[in-house]
Structure 1
């Protein structure tokens, strides 16, 4: 059985990821520019995302900041 991925939660820690696209969907408002657009994601961060969640949920800023580059 496939695990259901919540796109509003970080696939690494499970906290809200503050994805502008998901906030817009939830509130019915136009999306704002997301914080992640200008962020650099190291391979260490990306490697922590479970395979089933890749390209399905955004990583939160806390996980990006706390993972070594």
Structure 2
């Protein structure tokens, strides 16, 4: 199964859903946003490595994918 490729800053590169990135919302709208949830989150090296190379540094992982990596479904 191939993962979605986004390279769109508003879309999670792992699941293809909106990532709700406050920093991207502020950049795209010009409206001040509260700090993004991700600034307080921890991302494992394994999770970051699962982002397709074309999307690394270009789009944010969503909160749902970040949470799933901490508590994988058994």
**RMSD of the alignment, in Å?**
1.8
| 1:1-16 map, 5 Å | 5-16=7-18
Residue ranges of structure 2 left out of the alignment (5+ in a row) = none
> Is the Cα contact below 8 Å between 2:6 and 2:16 reproduced in 1?
no
Instruction: Give distance in 2, aligned partners of 1:40 and 1:64.
Output: 8
**Which structure's relative contact order is higher, taking Cα pairs within 8 Å and 6+ residues apart?**
1
CA distance 1:68–1:32, change in 2 (3 Å):
closer
C-alpha offsets along residues 32-63 of structure 1, whole Å, 9 cap, x if unaligned? 21100010001121111000100000110000
In structure 2, the residue matched to 1:66 is 68
Give TM-score scaled by structure 1 length: 0.83
Q: Provide runs of 4+ in structure 1 moved above 6 Å.
A: none
The number of equivalent residue pairs is 67
